[in-house]
């Protein structure tokens, strides 16, 4: 009652002949944007859902760090599809309407010289607690934030070191909006407050060359629809290039489909007085000789039947892992030197085209004890001092300016000589997609974040052109069309108990192979890692022991005993009759499942992801239209239409591949949960295929196939 009265009072004060003044607006079939002249706050209506997105008003951050609210000065001009106003600081703001798809671009011009940042959104797009209200942020693979928890916090995600894609999603009451930008000088700030009520709010801070943000309301939807809506934008920006497209330029890309990543660390040298070696004496260890690396590959290929894999040697370089870069040759003498590595390469490549031989190198870190140390290559701080990188096994590294990295990589004693001697199929350059973008203040090679991004892709292109296939650490969307694999984004360590969702996989999963970080490997007693890989249809980086770890002698040796003990109660997939060695049994079973899946899904985008149960312990995904996957992390059994899944159970169903670890499948109830992979090897659906391979990992030997119950001890092939 009170409110009606107040409105009536305001109206009565207006001249009798006029109606309430209409707010300046832009409008089309799907949305309406309105601006409040008094405080420059904007509201965006999604006509499909009726949801109103409060964008808030912009705020200027001045050089002295004080902030100023934006107020329109003079007229607000609406002309055609744009709405413009000026502020007293001389900054012009503009909204532009786009129709297909319906969206609003919000931008500002250069603005005043004393303005450092513009908060284009300042604590706007607020959401409260609710199951259908969250932020979907591109932190690594992707995370969801809910307005939940007792502790307030602020999460800042700056350039491509903090976010992997230039987008974010907001969902409120089941209504979705995609926000994107195209300049890395855009920072996401998510604020969570508990007082007076639990609220998430969002700010977008723009500086230097960043001038615009795009808002695209999507109607009803969630993070899956948000990621899908970003795909065409990613393509437009040149980031999305699918594996099918890459194959047209380089058919060798297909060697990665279903390929496991084996990465032996050959030589480790920890210099004295570093976090890795706090003693005063250098510590050197040879974990594998080059001969042992070749033996490893032959073991995996011949004893375990691994027919698609990367064998990428780390620490093969002269000084050992993370030492004396960029002076990499001759290959570590302790491990066998150039001759040993030449022979290793020859033997791995002799295993067939499914085996991809690679080397790990680095063109971002320069060490002072490298013979070719030269400050000219190093990035400079504004005061012209050298920009230090991390302290690694080889001590303090300094950052190579990305404008100069190809100069170093292409020196005769670097990649050209490596190619000539060892002929790798794939090259891995450390840190390219792992470190944030940098600025360099050396007047001979200045660098903005935008430049750094550009020159890093030039390094990728150079290495890829020289060697054929290329990968690097972590993963960034701007690297997708310049690389064949990312090693890192599949790591699902949860620093803040984040809810991880496959935003990156939905946008780019059919464009690049994604692995975990080399320091975070799938091992015998982390079955949840295997579920992660089943769910996202990606291949693992395997953990395995040193030297000839699979031999009886190695297992009883002291060296093996000093390795991390295995929790056998969690060795879910390390069972069955294929090997007596736990590591090998684990690799064999999981490789059979994952490599089969990787081949089927390589060219298919992920088209759906769901948390199936309220506790999020059961998840499902879909690839293309026909590959459906469900995994169960929880302790309770989960029943699907065809199977009962125990903890760590999964089921993959598609026309040419069925695989599961289940308590029952079809009409068969298992006395002991069983792992099976049923795969058509002639490309035809299982129902009509003339060549079907049935792999039995462990558990009950019975399986239903074409209406019959079969017994399979380890493996059976049906051909007609």
Q: Would you tell me which residues interact with Zn ion (CB under 5 A)?
A: 401, 440, 442, 445, 447
Separation CA 504–CA 142 (nearest Å): 6
- Minimum separation from the CB atom of position 398 to Zn ion (A): 12
Which residue lies nearer to Zn ion by CB, 46 or 442? 442
When the beta carbons of 232 and 436 are compared against Zn ion, the nearer one is 436
Nearer to Zn ion, 440 or 694 (CB): 440
Are 269 and 276 within 8 A, CB to CB?
A: no
Sheet with 115-128, edge to edge strand ranges: 67-69, 59-62, 115-128, 199-207, 186-193, 153-158
Closest to Zn ion by CB, 442 or 538: 442
Rounded to the nearest angstrom, the gap between the alpha carbon of residue 216 and the centroid of all alpha carbons in its chain is 23
Going by C-alpha positions, the residue among 500, 618, 580, 476 that lies closest to residue 166 is: 476
Locate all alpha helices (DSSP H) within 539-680, ordered by sequence.
Answer: 552-556, 558-561, 582-601
Q: What is the nearest approach in angstroms of Zn ion to the Cβ of residue 362? A: 17
* Minimum CB distance to Zn ion, residue 447 (Å): 5
Listed in sequence order, the residues at least 6 apart from 659 whose beta carbon sits closer than 8 Å to its beta carbon are 593, 596, 597, 650, 651, 652, 676, 677, 678, 679
Nearest Cα to Cα of residue 368 among 305, 416, 326, 313 = 326
Close Cβ partners of 556 (under 8 Å, ≥ 6 residues apart)? none
> Residue 446 or residue 666: which is nearer to Zn ion going by CB?
446
**Three-class SS of residue 2?**
helix
**Measured distance CA(505)–CA(537) in Å, rounded:** 10
In whole angstroms, the minimum distance from the beta carbon of 63 to Zn ion comes to 25
Nearer to Zn ion, 213 or 447 (CB): 447
C-beta of 355 vs 377, nearer to Zn ion: 377
Kindly state the tokens that stand for 535: 């769910």
Shortest distance (Å) from residue 308 CB to Zn ion: 40
Give 283 or 444: the residue with its C-beta nearer to Zn ion: 444
Residue 460 beta carbon to Zn ion: minimum distance, rounded to whole angstroms: 18
Least CB distance to Zn ion at residue 401 (A) = 3
Q: How far is the CB of 265 from Zn ion (least distance, A)?
A: 31
- Which residue, 365 or 505, has its beta carbon nearer to Zn ion? 365
The helix/strand/coil state of 225 is helix
Which residues is 56 bridged to in the sheet? 42
Among residues 317, 309, 307, 313, the alpha carbon closest in space to that of 291 is found at 313
- Residue 666 burial (CB count, 10 A): 14
C-alpha 470, offset from chain centre:
16
**Least CB distance from residue 384 to Zn ion, whole Å?**
11
Closer Cβ to Zn ion, 210 or 440, answer by number: 440
CA-CA distance, 186 to 212, in Å (whole number)? 9
Burial class (CB in 10 A: 0-12, 13-18, 19+), 417: middle
Shorter beta-carbon distance to Zn ion: residue 401 or 703: 401
Continuous segment of H or E residues that includes residue 243: helix 243-249
Select from 91, 123, 122 the least CA-distant residue to 107: 91
Closest separation in Å from C-beta 454 to Zn ion = 13
CB of 148 to Zn ion, least distance (A): 44
Q: Are strands 355-361 and 426-429 parallel, antiparallel or unpaired?
A: parallel
């Amino acid at each position: 009652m009170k409110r009606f009265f107040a409105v009536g009072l305001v109206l009565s004060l207006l001249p009798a002949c006029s109606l309430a003044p209409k707010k300046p607006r832009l409008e089309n079939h799907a949305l309406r944007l309105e601006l409040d002249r008094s405080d420059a706050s904007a509201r965006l209506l999604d006509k499909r859902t009726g949801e109103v997105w409060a964008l808030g008003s912009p705020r200027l951050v001045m050089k002295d760090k004080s902030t100023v609210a934006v107020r329109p000065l003079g007229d607000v001009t609406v002309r055609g599809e744009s709405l413009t106003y000026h502020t007293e600081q001389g900054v012009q703001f503009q909204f532009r309407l786009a129709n297909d798809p319906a969206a609003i671009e919000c931008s500002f011009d250069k603005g005043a010289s004393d303005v450092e940042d513009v908060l284009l959104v300042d604590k706007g797009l607020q959401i409260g607690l609710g199951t259908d209200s969250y932020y979907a942020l591109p932190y690594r693979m992707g995370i969801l934030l809910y307005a939940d928890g007792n502790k307030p916090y602020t999460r800042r995600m700056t350039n491509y070191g903090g976010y992997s894609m230039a987008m974010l999603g907001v969902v409120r009451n089941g209504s979705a909006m995609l926000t994107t930008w195209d300049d890395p000088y855009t920072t996401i700030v998510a604020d969570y407050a508990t007082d007076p009520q639990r609220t998430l709010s969002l700010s977008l801070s723009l500086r230097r060359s960043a001038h615009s943000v795009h808002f695209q309301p999507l109607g009803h939807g969630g993070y899956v629809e948000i990621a899908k809506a970003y795909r065409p934008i990613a393509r437009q920006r040149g980031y999305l290039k699918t594996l099918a497209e890459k194959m047209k330029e380089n058919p060798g890309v297909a060697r990665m489909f279903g390929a496991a990543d084996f990465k032996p660390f050959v030589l480790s040298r920890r210099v004295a007085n570093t976090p890795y070696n706090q003693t005063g004496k250098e510590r050197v260890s040879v974990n594998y000789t080059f001969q042992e690396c070749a033996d490893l590959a032959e073991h995996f290929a011949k004893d375990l039947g691994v027919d698609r894999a990367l064998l990428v040697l780390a620490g093969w370089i002269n000084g050992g892992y993370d030492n004396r870069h960029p002076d990499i040759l001759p290959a570590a003498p302790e491990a066998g030197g150039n001759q040993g590595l030449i022979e290793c390469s020859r033997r791995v490549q002799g295993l067939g085209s499914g085996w991809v031989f690679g080397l790990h190198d680095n063109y971002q870190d320069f060490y002072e004890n490298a013979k070719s140390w030269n400050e000219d290559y190093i990035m400079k701080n504004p005061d012209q001092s050298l920009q230090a990188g991390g302290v690694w096994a080889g001590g303090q590294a300094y950052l190579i300016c990305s404008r100069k990295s190809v100069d170093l990589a292409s020196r005769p004693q670097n990649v050209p000589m490596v190619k000539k001697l060892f002929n790798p199929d794939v090259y891995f350059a450390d840190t390219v997609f792992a470190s944030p973008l940098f600025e360099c203040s050396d007047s001979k090679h200045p660098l903005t974040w935008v430049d750094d991004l550009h020159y890093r892709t030039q390094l990728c292109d150079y290495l890829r052109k020289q060697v054929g296939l290329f990968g690097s650490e972590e993963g960034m969307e701007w690297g997708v069309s310049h690389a064949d694999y990312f090693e890192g984004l599949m790591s699902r360590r949860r620093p803040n108990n984040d809810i991880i969702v496959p935003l990156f996989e939905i946008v780019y999963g059919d464009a690049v192979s994604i692995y975990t970080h080399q320091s975070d490997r799938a091992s015998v007693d982390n079955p949840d890692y295997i579920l992660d890989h089943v769910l996202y249809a990606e291949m693992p980086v395997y953990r395995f022991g040193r030297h000839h770890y699979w031999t009886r002698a190695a297992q009883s040796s002291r060296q093996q005993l000093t390795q991390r003990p295995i929790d056998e109660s969690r060795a879910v997939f390390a069972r069955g009759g294929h090997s007596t060695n736990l590591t090998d049994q684990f690799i064999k079973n999981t490789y059979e499942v994952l490599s089969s899946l990787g081949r089927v899904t390589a060219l298919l985008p992920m088209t759906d992801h769901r948390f199936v149960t309220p506790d999020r312990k059961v998840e499902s995904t879909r690839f293309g239209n026909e590959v459906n996957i469900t995994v169960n992390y929880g302790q309770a059994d989960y029943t699907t239409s065809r199977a009962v899944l125990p903890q760590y159970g999964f089921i993959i169903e598609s026309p040419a591949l069925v695989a599961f670890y289940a308590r029952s499948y079809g009409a068969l109830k298992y006395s002991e949960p069983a792992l099976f992979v049923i795969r058509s090897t002639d490309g035809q659906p299982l129902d009509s295929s003339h060549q079907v391979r049935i792999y039995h990992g462990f558990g009950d030997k019975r399986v239903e196939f074409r209406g019959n119950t079969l017994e399979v001890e380890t493996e059976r092939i049906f051909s007609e």
